[in-house]
Structures are given as structure tokens and as C-alpha cells.
Amino acid sequence: MPDDDLRAAKERGWRELAPVDEALRRGEIDEDEWHRRVLAIVEPAYLSATTPRGGSGHGGDAARWEHARRVLLVAVDRDGTFLDVGCANGLLMESVEAWAAEDGRRVTACGVEISAPLADLARSRLPGHADRIWAANAALWEPPRRFTFVRTGPDYVPAGRLGGYLLHLLDACVEPGGRLVLGTYNEEHDADAVAEAVAAAGLRIAGRASREHRHPALRYKVLWIDAD
């Protein structure tokens, strides 16, 4: 398959923003502006989506959504609270609660979202969770409580900032004995750049899981780090 198909299959459309990354790298913008420019692309696309999955940045049907995301339950392996960092319209929150219940576990989902309109959308879709959905940039956020499981993606901060971001989430958001989960992200079978960035931050990867992707070069991957 041509490289363009591979890029599209990597589901990074929400931050398909090489010029923004480049402006930050050249020192023309600061990190706040990086987040603003990324959001200016993500927010209208998610808010105008016509399916629940589209409101979470996923272009597939319900079966593909489950295939791509349910692998997270390998990491979310016991009862507890689950914070979805970057919860968008809240679909992953409700999916994780439902899949955990099917597996015999009781998981209470919470969310934090950098886009205030998307956080509002999540609250209106999940009124029972409204007081557990916050609008904030997780890279700077000091939450009012801690969580058993905290999930995030590797692309929610500029390239090169992932290590510091994960250290902040471990310090501020994960409860003692809890788990920081990274994923799902799409990466080539033979690539390990995300895990290498985690290790470079001095963090020990406690576990990993992956699933096949419809693009033969890729896999859906998850890794996790356990808090002391």
C-alpha cells in the first residue's frame, strides 16, 4: 500500500498538523499556542460528526471501534476508577464501563478534555457522569482526586514532551498502586518509538498488549506503567 494509505490508517487525523509541530520546533509559537492550533482542527471536526464514534475521532463502525479500543481492558484489569484523558464526547468512558461490566468488573469512568465544548458534549451525552467530566489541559491539570486507571494518548502533547507529560500524570492523577495506560495508538509492527520515549523518561513499562489492524503494516498497541 502507498505511504498515504499508511498515514491515513494511523488515525492521527486529529493532529495531522506537521506545520504546527514545525512552528513550535522553530520557536515561533509556544506550547499553549500549539494546543490552540491543534484544537482548532480537532474541535469542529468532532463537534460536527454524525456518529458517536466520529465525535471521538474514530471513522469506523461500532465493530471496528470495539476492536480498536477494547484491547485497553487488558490493562484495566480490576475494579476501580478510570480517567479518560482526552475524553472527547465521552464514548470511550461509556464503552470501558460497559466492556468491564461484561468482563465482571465494576469500573467508574471519568473524563478530562482540553476542549470545553467537547467536555460539554460529553456531559450532555452522559448526564450521570457530568460531575466527573472536567475541561482542562491534562498536561497542566491538578485534578480534585486521583484515579485507579488513567488513560492517555501519545499525541496529546508536542513531540518530545511525552516523558514529562506522563511523569506529570503519574504524579498528579494516578492513585498509589494505580496504573497509567497509554493507548490505543497505531504503530507499525516493527516500530517501537512510543515505548522508547517512555523508557527514555525513566519509566518502567509494566505490560503491553496489541491487536491486529486492518492495515497489514500496523497494530493497535497499548502499554502501561504501574505507580508505586
**Chain residues that interact with ligand SAM, rule: CB under 6 A:** 14, 39, 42, 46, 56-57, 69, 84-88, 92, 112-115, 118, 137-139, 156-157
d(CA 100, CA 83): 14
| Closest listed residue to residue 2, CA positions, set 220, 215, 219, 221 | 215
> Nearest distance from residue 185's CB to ligand SAM, in Å?
9
Position of minimal CB gap to ligand SAM: 86
Residue 54 or 204: which CB sits closer to ligand SAM?
54
Beta strand 174-188 with 147-152 is: parallel
Residue 2 or 187: which CB sits closer to ligand SAM?
187
Residue 115 or 148: which CB sits closer to ligand SAM?
115
In order, the DSSP letters of 33-94 are HHHHHHHHHHHHHHHT-SSTTGGGT--S-HHHHHHHHGGGGGT--SSEEEEEES-TTSHHHH
Exposed, middle or buried by CB within 10 Å (0-12, 13-18, 19+), for 204? exposed
> Nearest distance from residue 209's CB to ligand SAM, in Å?
15
> Nearest distance from residue 146's CB to ligand SAM, in Å?
17
> Nearest distance from residue 114's CB to ligand SAM, in Å?
4
Residue 135 or 204: which CB sits closer to ligand SAM?
135
